[in-house]
Amino acid sequence: MSLPKVFVTRIIPPEAQEILNRVAEIEIWPQDTKPPQEVIIQKAAECIGLFTTIEDQINSEVLQSGKDSLKIVSNYAVGYDNFDIDTATKNGIIMCNTPDVLSQTTADLAFGLMLSIARNIVKGDNFVRSGKWTHWHPSTLLGRDIYGANLLVVGLGRIGLEVCRRAIGFGMEIFYHSRTRKLNLEKELGINYVSKLKDGISKADFISINTIMNDQTYHLFGKEEFNTMKNSAIIVNTARGPIIDMESLYEALKNNQIAGAAVDVTEPEPIPNNHPILSLENFVVTPHIGSASIETRKKMAIAAAKNIEAYLLKKTIPSSING
């Protein structure tokens, strides 16, 4: 008897391929760039499962194409704003993600970005490479201290929690804003809840965005929020690009309304190389690499594969979003 078909939209670690090969006939998209949307639509009509990434838009058109064949979609990510959950649920298609395995790695990058912009690490590297390091001077590339500073964490989920744990090591005064107040964590970590985001923004020296992307958080940070921030404050985003209004951020940085921004995500993504924000020295950007460590990406791939394996073996699916 032939095995059910699964389409994988990127080359994945061999450990994950091995899991899928045990239960399915898999086809892997061989290119570095994402499959065209028409290919995903076609594969949805042919396959029982899709193994996707955040770049693959699993929208109503894809899910309608797969309504008679597609049973499960597993995202190689914790976020799933590329999924149309409502249509999937209506069509009885199980949608999955990979929580828990990337929190530590993404929190590491959040602090890396915070340090890079606060202590002028990227600017310092460019300074040396461009031949400007000809002497030492006490005012060269002065940055801002993280130790003892006020940190506002926006979104106290798994990643936000790990950012807090790292901030404790830097002796930061930690505030958080989240949909749900977490009294147990306040007691355990010595962190403080702010019910109104504006109150947290106004006192923060650093802001770390770790919330999910939805209708309520779209452009959560815009002109008004940047007006509320201290002129000396720095914002870091390792969540999703559209949580920040990039045009308002550009204006705030250009006019030195805030001290700096360091982001791993942008709107749009990838950011066009002619975007004016890329000309600013108080802006640092990385290409959505929050979970990009060798071990974490392997664990994510294995977790995504195990979701599909569990469905095909009629076992409990480890990380189902809608079922």
The question of whether 269 is a catalytic residue gets the answer: yes
Q: d(Cα 306, Cα 310) in Å, to the nearest integer?
A: 6
CATH number at 251 reads 3.40.50.720
Residues 146 and 233 in one domain: yes
Q: Is residue 88 part of a domain?
A: yes
Q: Is residue 290 part of a domain?
A: no
Which two structure tokens, joined as six digits, stand for 192?
């403080």
Residues 126 and 273 in one domain: yes
The question of whether 137 is a catalytic residue gets the answer: no
Instruction: Please identify which of the residues 269, 281, 295, 297 carries the catalytic annotation.
Output: 269
Residues 93 and 58 in one domain: yes
Residues 224 and 135 in one domain: yes
Q: Is residue 319 part of a domain?
A: no
With 0.85 as the threshold, say if the pTM is over it: yes
Residues 130 and 272 in one domain: yes
Q: Is residue 318 part of a domain?
A: no
The tally of CA atoms less than 13 A away on the side-chain side of residue 74 is 28
Instruction: Please identify which of the residues 240, 251, 267, 275 carries the catalytic annotation.
Output: 240
Decide if 65 contacts 22 (C-beta within 8 A). no
Q: d(Cα 106, Cα 110) in Å, to the nearest integer?
A: 6
Can you give the pLDDT at residue 59? 98
Q: Is residue 110 part of a domain?
A: yes
Residues 114 and 239 in one domain: yes
Work out how many domains the chain is built from and give that number. Answer: 2
Secondary structure, 3-state, 126-185: HHHHCCCCCCCCCCCCCCCCCCCCEEEEECCCHHHHHHHHHHHHCCCEEEEECCCCCHHH
Residues 144 and 108 in one domain: yes
Can you give the pLDDT at residue 323? 79
Can you give the pLDDT at residue 81? 93
Can you give the pLDDT at residue 143? 97
Residues 53 and 159 in one domain: no
Q: Is residue 40 part of a domain?
A: yes
The question of whether 288 is a catalytic residue gets the answer: yes
Q: d(Cα 311, Cα 159) in Å, to the nearest integer?
A: 27
Instruction: Please identify which of the residues 10, 162, 225, 288 carries the catalytic annotation.
Output: 288
Q: Is residue 222 part of a domain?
A: yes
Residues 213 and 130 in one domain: yes
What φ, ψ does residue 24 adopt, rounded to 5°? -150, 160
List the chain pLDDT tens, one digit each, 323 residues.
799 999 999 999 999 999 999 999 999 999 999 999 999 999 999 999 999 999 999 999 999 999 999 999 999 999 999 999 999 999 999 999 999 899 999 999 999 999 999 999 999 999 999 999 999 999 999 999 999 999 999 999 999 999 999 999 999 999 999 999 999 999 999 999 999 999 999 999 999 999 999 999 999 999 999 999 999 999 999 999 999 999 999 999 999 999 999 999 999 999 999 999 999 999 999 999 999 999 999 999 999 999 999 999 999 999 999 97
Residues 13 and 155 in one domain: no
* CA Rg value for the chain: 22
Q: Is residue 69 part of a domain?
A: yes
* Burial environment of residue 183 by CB neighbours within 10 A (0 to 12, 13 to 18, 19 or more): exposed
- The domain in which residue 81 lies consists of 5-100+295-312
Residues 62 and 176 in one domain: no
Can you give the pLDDT at residue 278? 98
Which two structure tokens, joined as six digits, stand for 128?
């040396």
Residues 113 and 199 in one domain: yes
